[in-house]
Amino acid sequence: MTLHASHDGGRLVLTQGRLTLREQLPEDAALLGDGKPAGLVWIDGVPGDGTVRAASMTVAAAAAGVYRPGWGVFAIQRSEDLVAVGGAGFHGPPDSGAVEIGYDLSESARGAGWATDAARALSQWALGQPGVLVVLATTEPDNRPSQAVLERVGFVRVADRGELWAYELTSLPD
């Protein structure tokens, strides 16, 4: 499925079928980091804990002067009505050809393929950017749903990173 990238008010917007990923700029991320909806309609009323933590990473990167547009947190939205069902994004800009992704779904959106769609779209976009050779992701050893997401996208497990299981993707399967 074709990935469409556009910009809306300075935000990167990635659309692929039923999925829209809308970048949250640092000012939006600050609201999300406080657990507020940041002008979005959330399926469960507010962003989930993982989205709150990811938004805080974007805020910290902006405060440290290392934030780069396109490489922060995104709201995962249903394309049909733009209701936010979770958050996904990058742990920061590419470093030595690698970028790390993460994702979080609202409780009532789990089990419907949204995390898989988001991880695939983020990875596809990232691997299309100059200098990005590998997309990384980590999971807790007991987080089987997240491991299944990564496997469906095409990630392969590599050497663990401390207590976390690590995965890499260098290209998307056809």
Distance CA 47, CA 59 (A): 16
Residue 31 lies in a domain: yes
| Stated pTM of the model | 0.95
Question: Domain range holding 155?
Answer: 4-169
Q: Is residue 156 part of a domain?
A: yes
CATH number at residue 53: 3.40.630.30
Residue 92 lies in a domain: yes
DSSP letters, 102-147, are EEEE-GGGTTSSHHHHHHHHHHHHHHTSTT--EEEEEE-TT-HHHH
Tens of each residue's pLDDT in the chain, 174 residues? 899 999 999 999 999 999 999 999 999 999 999 999 999 999 999 999 999 999 999 999 999 999 999 999 999 999 999 999 999 999 999 999 999 999 999 999 999 999 999 999 999 999 999 999 999 999 999 999 999 999 999 999 999 999 999 999 999 877
Report residue 32 as tokens.
Answer: 């999300």
Question: DSSP state, 95?
Answer: B
44 domain-assigned: yes
- Please check whether residue 174 lies inside any domain of the structure: no
Tally of structural domains, the chain: 1
DSSP state of 46: S
Residue 95 counted as domain residue: yes
Q: Which two tokens stand for residue 82?
A: 């733009």
Nearest CA-CA partner of 131 in 89, 174, 95 = 95
Q: Is residue 121 in a domain?
A: yes
Does 93 reside within a domain?
yes
User: Which whole-number Å values give the CA distances from 42 to 8, 80, 155, 165, 169, in the listed order?
Assistant: 19, 14, 29, 30, 30
